[in-house]
Amino acid sequence: MAKIIPFKGLRPTQDKVSLVSCRSYEDYNAVEIAYLLDYNPFSFLHVLNPAYVNPQKVTSDKRFKMVAAKLNDFKKEGILITEDKPVLYLYQIKTKFWQFTGIVAGTTIDDYKNNVIKKHEDTLDYRVRMFKEYLQYGRFNTEPVLMMYPDQEQISKWVESYKEQEALYDFSTVTKERHTIWKIDQPEDIDWLSEQFDQINEFYIADGHHRCASAELLQQENLEYHNSVMSFLIGENNIKIYEYNRIIHDLNNHTKDEFLNLLAEKFLIENKEQQLWKPTKKMEFGMYLDGDFYALRLKETKSNGDILQQLDAQILYDEVLNPILGLDDLRNDARIDYVPGNESIVAIKELVDDGEYEVGFMLYPTNIEEIKRIADNDLIMPPKSTYIEPKFMNGLLIYEI
């Protein structure tokens, strides 16, 4: 059974929450980061990117220690405060098109090891080790693992009722998102939620495979590490799944014509020219190459075999990326990069047109049932198979270890 754990969250004071919280560091370009660091002394980016001289010469362990030191500065200055007792949180994110609501709690590494918390994606070794060092030296995490569970009517009703209480935070961002958090601090509410989640057989990781893997690795190396990670638990029908598109630096020494001829052995190819085309169903692929968009339709559909072989990301690897483009290790090969599906395919066009990449591929999104079937059968999707929302704000709730 799945276990949830209340925790003593570290969080901004109410008057500074909109100033402190920020998107993930990778979501900002260099100009945005420089502006926020110069003009917002409360931004959590100061913690994530502490100022130092000659950053190229700073080792990762020293940098992560400086991150921890900057977090302590925020605590000493009263920008961040710690709950006086372990609590849970109810968190709602409203965007222009979607509304996401879930419970923020601790989940156990033991549940992850014992496959109560199920994974579906492969991880990148260097990122697992980087996050492990970050946890080891930084001693905190501010991006929870997004986990989904089968929708529960009783929990859904309780959540809607709890929203009638006064919120701890309620603010909007410059990206026109509204973030609302309620603190769940009464023992009877915590006990009731714990009992409800106790009846759920498993959680499925939607986003945060690297965070779970790095926490497990750190615990293996240091048994004194806390047996829990911060998680955002959300009903499976309340998430949004996008594809992860692929861009490749070269054609593996093939000419354009050679490459198209090799593709034609497995796919029906339609040149869409300048039409911004993307797949409309499974086993269709979009491609951008040398100024034109193409529709690729698999000649022989994968109706047999295991669920993994029927995944579009796996089909693209088996039929194109590996045999034609010579990509063996998608976890570590520097020749391939990924673009999340919530970005316009114009971004792929621009990256290829700029000359840094030779070809881009657009995929059709995976659905929830495919994810669950993969996880239930102890299979692993190719890396970067899904891009899933919601995304959590950094510096909003912090889980110290």
Task: Report CA Rg, the chain.
Answer: 22
- pTM, to two decimals: 0.88
Q: Are residues 117 and 129 in the same domain?
A: yes
Q: Are residues 184 and 250 both part of a single domain? A: no
| CATH number (domain holding residue 151) | 3.90.1530.10
Tell me, yes or no, whether 318 and 264 share the same domain.
Answer: yes
- Residue-level pLDDT, tens digit, the chain, 401 residues: 789 999 999 999 999 999 999 988 878 888 888 888 889 999 999 998 876 545 556 777 888 889 999 999 999 999 999 999 999 999 999 998 899 999 999 999 999 999 999 998 877 788 888 888 888 888 899 999 999 999 999 999 999 999 999 999 999 998 899 999 999 999 999 999 999 999 999 999 999 988 999 999 988 887 666 788 999 999 999 999 999 999 999 999 999 999 999 999 999 999 999 999 999 999 999 999 999 999 999 988 766 667 888 899 999 999 999 999 999 988 778 999 999 998 999 999 999 999 999 999 999 999 999 999 999 988 888 888 889 999 899 999 999 98
Indicate whether 394 and 364 sit together in one domain.
no
Is 50 in contact with 69 (CB distance < 8 Å)?
yes
Angle at 125 between CA 212 and CA 70, to 5 degrees: 65
Do residues 217 and 247 share a domain? Answer: no
What is the extent of the structural domain holding 300? 242-387
Q: How many domains does the chain have?
A: 2
One domain, residues 184 and 246: no
If asked whether residues 216 and 264 sit together in one domain, one would say no
Yes or no: say if 131 and 214 are a contact pair by the CB < 8 Å rule.
yes
162 in the same domain as 173: yes
| Cα dist from 368 to 12, 55, 98, 240, 374, whole Å | 34, 41, 17, 9, 10
Phi, psi angle pair for 42, to nearest 5°: -95, -10
Query: Residue 336 sits in a domain of what CATH number?
Result: 3.30.1760
Q: Are 181 and 44 in a shared domain?
A: yes
The verdict on 375 and 231 lying in the same domain is: no
Q: What are 39's two structure tokens?
A: 């003009």
Q: And the tokens for 227?
A: 């047996």
